[in-house]
Structure 1
Amino acid sequence: MQTPVTFIIFKRPQTTEKVFEAIRQAKPTKLFVIADGPRTDREGEAEKCEATRAIIERVDWECEVIKNYSNINLGCAKRVSSGLDWVFNNVEETIILEDDCIPHPTFFRFSEELLEKYRNDTRVATISAQNLQFGRKRTNYSYYFSRYNHCWGWASWRRAWQHYDLTIKLWKEVQAENLLRDILVDPKAVSYWRRIFQSVYNNPTGITWDYQWTFSCWIQGSLSIIPNVNLISNVGVGADATHFTSNQEFSFINMSMQAMEFPLKHPPFIVRNLEADNFTQKTVYKATALDIFKEEVKKRLNYLAMKK
């Protein structure tokens, strides 16, 4: 496979090994690896980071491996965003996987073909592996277009990532002009995402990088490609996870996957699927983001209590 793959790792050798094996089967000719450093106050984390990085040394196919390893802990927001800045400074396009997202083998071909097809089409910003329609078929084509840029397995271009801003400095103007109303229409969705973006704006280097990516895509009027079947499974729930540290009953964790059929059936239009997006907003985004923030606040309070 000629398309570069970007692999984001940290301290979970068990899940990293599973994703690495999927990458190994695809055999990309170029592999970028982004790794954060251990936290000094977490016992055993340095050893976990070392064990995770050791997996990358198992590359046994013809592949140029390019590493960006941090010696210190930058945190999720800074590490992922700075790492992707580095990747897109080196290549025009890439497939991106995190250490807990296992892709279906057909995701690589799906991404590679669509990266080429929409390479110069600025209406499209991302190609996702994730389908959150829970078996509901939204189109007779291989994929549809969405406002939601799901980041559990995705691909993009430098031309799209150049608009990314970790600090979402345009939020105040977007808020003042009430632009979320123009983007989302639904008052409940507007209220929901206003809280999310305000939280990110108040603490841009906190626990997340991907809401900033959503914001960047929305203010550019960009669309995401969503496969008509789910091509990714997140296996990251557990004590070592950054966000989903407990067995929360989120139905999009450990989702089953299906193979993408080829040749791809391309839609003859680039129009957002309103029905699919409304379903996603009502079923997925009604809880997940706020639960993540609540989980992080709970973790920080527990940590402060332990230090006293």
Structure 2
Amino acid sequence: MKAPIALFAYRRADHLSRTLDALEACEGFADHDLHIYSDGPKNAAAVADVEAVRELLGFRKRPNMTVVAQEANRGLANSIISAVTALTDQYGSVIVVEDDLLLQPSALLWFQGALEKYSSSEQVMHVGGYQYSVPEFESQRSGSFQRFTTSWGWATWKRAWKHFDAQATGWEELDSDPLLERSFNAGGTFPFADMLRKQMRGGLDSWAIRWWWSVFKADGLAVMPPKSLVTNIGFDSSATHNSVGSAKALLSGPRPAVWDKPGPPDLPGAVELVPFAEQAFRRGLLRTNAMRNHKIKKGLAALGMRRFQT
């Protein structure tokens, strides 16, 4: 049985239309059940946009498609946690996509191939579809294992998702253990620890940071492609979690290379963390400027700029 695809939509019909176009162009799309979760409006201003999404989904109905239309607004985090739990219970695995992601034509083959190949490899907990700009990987055909999870197009198994801890048990240890904090921050290259603190103190609503904590605590690995199989088109004023706005274009790092070869990337053989690949990947993370930008935001918050305060 092929893994189902869970697609999460809210109020951006134009983005969703492009996401559906890309999904339907993927090799093997018709072999997967597609479950679309359309969240309800958060307020009166969102009603018309949500109705436009529902109208689009009615027009785009396909034989393998099931639409779950929520009356109330559940929020992305609750929607993903609930759906991934239900679908992995039913199917054993799931592929997760949001309404601002464009998949390359071979992306579903990559996800399904990894789900099958590593189905019994307990340490492999996450299949990523997105890749950052890592020049050392761009001439390679094979993916790599990393201690890092991405949220822009991913897949997992029931056996791995059972480790998901919504309460992020033990997160307070980050405040007293600098080595733990550095490790959780991917060797000091990404501001995960502060994201988790913000989540647990009520300033953020993210399933992704809690999933990374769960994988990290279980000593899990993610398999990632050498170049990105996913493009994010959501960084505009309509994005639910885009707090930086138009400034992001000035602050972000280099654009990732996109996988454009026939067929999917090759899957790595042995399940192991290769030092060269991990070091190259972390250099790529540094080039995103995520840690630098985070420090700038913390500095601005310390100066009293409310927009950057948690």
Give the TM-score band, short-chain normalised. Answer: 0.7 to 0.9
The aligned amino acid for 1:133 is: S
2:240 alignment partner, SS class: coil
In 2, the alpha carbon distance for the partners of 1:11 and 1:69 equals 12
Closer/same/farther in 2, CA of residues 9 and 261 from structure 1, 3 Å limit: same
- Residue 30 in structure 1 maps to residue 33 in structure 2: yes
> Which ranges in structure 1 are unaligned for 5 or more consecutive residues?
302-308
1:136 alignment partner, SS class: helix
Question: Which residue is equivalent to 1:197?
Answer: 196
Q: Could you give the per-residue CA deviations for residues 165-195 of structure 1, whole angstroms, max 9, x where no partner exists? A: 22313313565566725845987459x4332
In 2, the alpha carbon distance for the partners of 1:252 and 1:104 equals 21
Range 268-277 or range 258-267, more displaced: 258-267
Return the offset for 1:144. Answer: 0.6
Does the aligned pair in 2 maintain the 1:35–1:70 contact within 8 Å? yes
In 2, the alpha carbon distance for the partners of 1:104 and 1:73 equals 30
> Which ranges in structure 2 are unaligned for 5 or more consecutive residues?
none
Return the offset for 1:266. Answer: 3.7
Match of 1:232 among 230, 233, 243: 230
Question: Which residue is equivalent to 1:76?
Answer: 76
Question: Which residue is equivalent to 1:305?
Answer: none
Give matches, 1:1-308, under 5 Å.
Answer: 2-25=2-25, 26-40=29-43, 42-43=44-45, 45-59=46-60, 61-63=62-64, 65-137=65-137, 140-173=140-173, 180=180, 183-184=183-184, 188=188, 192-203=191-202, 206-244=204-242, 246-247=245-246, 248-249=248-249, 251=252, 257-262=258-263, 265-272=266-273, 273-284=277-288, 285-287=290-292, 298=307
In 2, the alpha carbon distance for the partners of 1:281 and 1:236 equals 20
Does the aligned pair in 1 maintain the 2:2–2:32 contact within 8 Å? yes
Query: What is the TM-score of this pair, normalised by structure 2?
Result: 0.81
Q: Could you give the per-residue CA deviations for residues 225-249 of structure 1, whole angstroms, max 9, x where no partner exists? A: 1101111111112221112262222
Does the aligned pair in 2 maintain the 1:234–1:253 contact within 8 Å? no
Q: Could you give the per-residue CA deviations for residues 33-79 of structure 1, whole angstroms, max 9, x where no partner exists? A: 12221112x42x1111121123222445431x333332112223223
In 2, the alpha carbon distance for the partners of 1:292 and 1:7 equals 32
Does the aligned pair in 1 maintain the 2:40–2:72 contact within 8 Å? yes
Closer/same/farther in 2, CA of residues 170 and 58 from structure 1, 3 Å limit: farther
Determine what percentage of the aligned residue pairs are the same residue: 19
The aligned amino acid for 1:201 is: M
Does the aligned pair in 2 maintain the 1:32–1:67 contact within 8 Å? yes
Does the aligned pair in 2 maintain the 1:133–1:279 contact within 8 Å? no
1:57 alignment partner, SS class: helix
Closer/same/farther in 2, CA of residues 254 and 228 from structure 1, 3 Å limit: closer
Closer/same/farther in 2, CA of residues 31 and 93 from structure 1, 3 Å limit: same
Closer/same/farther in 2, CA of residues 287 and 153 from structure 1, 3 Å limit: farther
Q: Could you give the per-residue CA deviations for residues 254-284 of structure 1, whole angstroms, max 9, x where no partner exists? A: 7552225447534333222321332144233
Does the aligned pair in 2 maintain the 1:100–1:236 contact within 8 Å? yes
What is the root-mean-square deviation in Å for CA atoms of aligned residues?
3.3
Does the aligned pair in 2 maintain the 1:115–1:155 contact within 8 Å? yes
In 1, the alpha carbon distance for the partners of 2:240 and 2:139 equals 34
